[in-house]
Amino acid sequence: MKTPVKLLGHPIHPMVIVFPLGLLATSLIFDILYLVLGDVTLAAVSYWLIVAGIIGGLLAAIFGLLDWTGIPANTRAKALGLWHGIGNFIVVVLFILSWLVRRDIPNYEPNTLALGLSVAAVLLATVTGWLGGELVYRLGMAVDQGANPNAPSSLSDKPARSEGERASTD
């Protein structure tokens, strides 16, 4: 599969997913710290991490959907990509709900529902992250044909493997 959307020779989706994943997972850590320490500033930080994570997740979804369109039909990769995308959409929806629940609470303190939604979302993101890893590392989606330890820079116009070079069996 050749990804239709690249930046400097690399697929954009894997570049942008780190932000929403990190922001949303960190929001749960701040919620836990708030529950342990009782500092309302931690709850407010969590709230705004969720806002940034939702925005980043929606951006990542656009590039993920564009990449998914490049996966060959009727393949395991196409099916896993669909589950990966649907699951991540649900992750974002769960965090949107968690955010909405907190919105009108003083200091954005998470109640049981908000916290439960965040925990469920992070657990689901663990599964969808594994699916994304399966797509890249097991099924080779968005990996250059002929990728190898001595391939030229993606900034060059040279392919990863020259025409006469044999593919690695690893």
User: Rg of the chain over CA atoms, in angstroms?
Assistant: 19
Q: Which residues contact 14 (CB under 8 A, 6 or more apart)?
A: 136, 142
**What is the structure's pLDDT at 143?**
75
What kind and span of H or E run contains 131?
A: helix 112-133
Residue 83, both tokens: 């589950």
**What is the structure's pLDDT at 166?**
57
**What is the structure's pLDDT at 28?**
97
For the chain, 170 residues long, give each residue's pLDDT as a single digit of tens.
666 777 777 778 888 899 999 999 999 999 999 999 999 999 999 999 999 999 999 999 999 999 999 899 999 999 999 999 999 999 999 999 999 999 999 889 999 999 999 999 999 999 999 999 999 888 878 777 777 787 777 777 787 775 555 555 54
Distance (Å, whole) CA 122 – CA 93: 12
Residue 137, both tokens: 């590392």
Q: How far is CA 60 from CA 14, 19, 35, 88, in A?
A: 8, 9, 30, 10
> What's the pTM?
0.85
